[in-house]
Chains A and B, each alone.
Chain A
């Protein structure tokens, strides 16, 4: 456990949860990022654009104003990035949610679908990393 950071994890998590709470109380919408991104071409997309502007812009603002942002680049191999991106994009639409929609918002509602989805994507995520690191050695 080289980099365990429970305090910043809980604090950041609370902010993510307050964001989801606020989006629900103000607009009545679930803060599921894949759902928001996947519905960008719908007619009522302007609130989604505004949400994404905040999501993408705020870390940039923190970085340019001298704050430290721990955003290391992912793996270098483009085939892994492309296959991973396609799986995440297609899979979150097929499964109607990602870590935020199912893992946070759905779990907070105690939705059986979201509990099942979260258990499954955690398990396949773990299995994928296990195969990659300990079987293939990528």
Chain B
């Protein structure tokens, strides 16, 4: 129960951050990717705020040695930059550019009531589900 409350708080904070930073606006995200057009560098500043704040958590975690509400840190262990990572990043980048949504903002924008957003999220879910049928899917980790 305490785990769920902690996760709900994290998700809520994440959603609030996506709204304040305008990441839920796919046209603004596409304007960031449109370097040759009317370029809007704002999304880079989202990372400028997010990365150091995340690093604080990593430093605190190193001090405490274990999470407050779980036994261990689920530390990503893979080290190699392999074809899978590169291929996946190429595909993700292409889809991100086409529509302007990455997974978090697409979900956070579901409340906009637009059928376009819903269609994108449904296709994204189908893409994730389709991945399970691939033989290499077994070895999947988070990040």
Q: How far is the CA of A86 from the CA of B95 in the complex (A)?
A: 8
- Whether B37 lies near A84 (C-beta < 8 A) is no
- The number of chain A residues touching the other chain, given as a range, is 35 or more
Q: How far is the CA of A116 from the CA of B88 in the complex (A)?
A: 11
Interface centre among B6, B52, B61, B95 (most CB of A within 10 A): B95
Q: CB within 8 Å of A: which of B1-43?
A: 3-28, 30-31, 33-43
- The number of chain B residues touching the other chain, given as a range, is 35 or more
- Whether B95 lies near A51 (C-beta < 8 A) is no
- Whether B99 lies near A80 (C-beta < 8 A) is yes
- Whether A126 lies near B97 (C-beta < 8 A) is yes
Q: How far is the CA of A69 from the CA of B108 in the complex (A)?
A: 11
* Minimum distance in angstroms from B106 CB to a CB of chain A: 8
* Minimum distance in angstroms from A67 CB to a CB of chain B: 8
- Which of chain A's residues have a CB closer than 8 A to the CB of B137? 93
Q: How far is the CA of A69 from the CA of B34 in the complex (A)?
A: 23
Q: CB within 8 Å of B: which of A67-124?
A: 67, 69-76, 78, 80-109, 111-114, 116-118, 120-124
Given that A55-B11, A89-B128 are contacting pairs, would A102 and B143 also be in contact in the complex, using a CB cutoff of 8 Å? yes
- Whether B116 lies near A81 (C-beta < 8 A) is yes
Q: How far is the CA of A52 from the CA of B89 in the complex (A)?
A: 23
Contact of B46 among A12, A93, A129 (CB under 8 A): A12
- Which of chain A's residues have a CB closer than 8 A to the CB of B90? 91, 120-121, 124
- Whether B53 lies near A132 (C-beta < 8 A) is no
Q: How far is the CA of A133 from the CA of B87 in the complex (A)?
A: 24
- Which of chain A's residues have a CB closer than 8 A to the CB of B46? 9-10, 12-13, 16
Could you list which residues of chain B lie within 8 angstroms of chain A, going by C-beta atoms?
3-28, 30-31, 33-58, 60-61, 64, 66-74, 76, 78-81, 84-104, 106-112, 114, 116-117, 119-131, 134, 137, 140-143
